[in-house]
Chain A
Amino acid sequence: MTSTPTAPAPLLPAPHDGVCPFSPPPVYTEAARAGTVTRAALLDGSSCWLVTGYHEVRSLLSDRRFSADVRRPEFPSFTPGRRAILAANPNFLRLDDPEHSRLRRMVTGDFLVKRVEAMRPEVQQIVDEALDSMTASGGPADLVGDFALPVPSLVICLLLGVPYEDRQMFQELSRVLVSTTVEEAEVRRAQTELLDYLGGLAAQKRRRPGDDILSRLAARDDLSLREIAATGMLLLVAGHETTANMIGLSTLLLLRHPGQAARLTDPAAVPGAVEELLRHLTIIHMGLPRLALEDVELGGVRIRAGDGVVAMLSTANRDEELFGAPGHLPADELDVDRDARRHLAFGFGVHQCLGQPLARAELQIALATLFHRLPGLRLAVPESELTFRSDAFIYGLKALPIAW
């Protein structure tokens, strides 16, 4: 057996400092070079396994011997105390079957491919209106605040039945919830506040239902208001944070590659380009935590029951063997004409992103419309002045000043 006893275990979550803003932090890529399954340490002082290889990540995420149940006391936590906060009101993303599928199946009907396809004209209208109001001033504008965030935020508000007028409040709370650096007490407060808000809305909808997800959940007597609020919170936070950051980062990346951005004017090339952007950017940079329930052999390594594991989607998505087909650029580079459909940006296994049809439709419409309508799109500040959200579970840009 070979080992490298001198190399200290990398500490997670790793900062993004001084590297290509579109690539995973170097700590993770170095770990990936050292092996597909290696040791790492978490900020709360515990140690875990870092799983970086494509095949290993896929197999880990579809293996029921690894739990996603955050209520288990040994469950790995990225920051001290966060596990307990999440465990107090777990959503289905953080539960195992059968609880997970009981709760998840109550909303799967709302994200059917067919249903999302039927929503395309509505999403297109939201995108058009957001662009109209962004460009009305003549520029410059902040693409994140004026376009990337409003579009998915408005879409998920409509679907959930959450008043868009309240966005300032829930966007703030949501930012606290996905941050890795804010105080624990603040995370706890943000979670309680958002759950109370959504629980209150659900209680109102029980009396006066509308045509939305919260109303449909509120109409069920096999769900508590707390469960409805936790499901609503997951959909609300995931629904706007992820897509908003994908739109912002994708725009910046495409501005760096004008030739590839031009491909978006061909409608036939758009879906493939979006898959490649999802693969290349994989905004869940910190990976997905799991807990081994039994001893499992993975990538030639024996993982023991009770060990924490982190599945790194971002390094898996840079696997040269999977994505570096002849005639295409290496997996570390963007190539919108690559067949990237095997990517794991939405995760894998039973917890794979439920909203992916919606995310795809939003990204396709938002990016194609943006580059079609604003062919002169450019950065309004030097790239060195941009600030990235490296202190969050979902990676992205804080702002993106643009002109056109």
Chain B
Amino acid sequence: MQVSIDQDRCCSSGQCVVTAPEVFEQDDHDGLVRLRLTVLPPARFADVRLASELCPGGAITVAEEAPERDRERTGPAAG
């Protein structure tokens, strides 16, 4: 699974941080989303999918990969 974020679409609601605190954080100053991990553990996949669904700005994109490649990979942070 690959997750990417688009800070231009982030409205700092913090839903992602509440849903998957190991994966997402907010900038101290303006609250814009940032990825905390470059490698995403499979145990967090479900939380990340939900965070993407709950994000009101559509700032979190999840790309599912083929199962054999769906290992510990995370895409680069955009924005």
Interface residues, chain A, with chain B CB atoms under 8 Å away: 61-62, 101, 104-105, 108-109, 111-114, 341-342, 346-354, 356-357, 360
Contacts and interface: CB of A to CB of B under 8 A. Distances in A.
A41 B20 CA distance: 42
B28 A109 contact: yes
A342 B54 contact: yes
Contact of B31 (A61, A111, A348): A111
A341 B31 contact: no
B57 A349 contact: yes
B11 A352 contact: yes
Instruction: Give the interface size class of chain B.
Output: 20 to 34
B31 to A, nearest CB: 4
A104 B57 CA distance: 14
Contacts of A353: 13
3 tightest A-B contacts by CB? A352-B56, A108-B12, A108-B31
A102 to B, nearest CB: 12
B78 interface: no
A10 B67 CA distance: 50
Given A111-B12, A114-B28, A354-B12, 5 more contacts: A105-B31, A112-B28, A350-B11, A350-B57, A353-B13
Contacts of A113: 14, 17-18, 26
Contacts of B12: 104-105, 108, 111-112, 354
B32 to A, nearest CB: 8
A109 B11 contact: no
A352 B58 CA distance: 12
Nearest to A339: B50
A113 B53 CA distance: 18
Contacts of A342: 53-54
B56 A348 contact: yes
Contacts of A61: 56
27 contacts: A62-B58, A101-B11, A104-B11, A105-B30, A105-B31, A108-B11, A109-B29, A109-B31, A111-B12, A113-B14, A113-B17, A113-B18, A114-B26, A341-B19, A341-B50, A341-B54, A349-B56, A349-B57, A350-B56, A351-B11, A352-B11, A352-B13, A352-B56, A353-B13, A356-B14, A356-B15, A360-B18
A226 B53 CA distance: 36
Contacts of B29: 109
Contact of B13 (A105, A341, A354): A354
B76 to A, nearest CB: 24
Nearest to B8: A101
A33 B19 CA distance: 32
A360 B26 CA distance: 17
A109 B18 contact: no
Contacts of A104: 11-12
A128 to B, nearest CB: 24
Interface string B26-59: 1011111000000000000000001001101110
Given A62-B56, A349-B57, A109 B13 contact: no
Contacts of B56: 61-62, 347-350, 352
Nearest to A106: B30
Contacts of B26: 112-114
B57 A357 contact: no
Contacts of B30: 105, 108-109
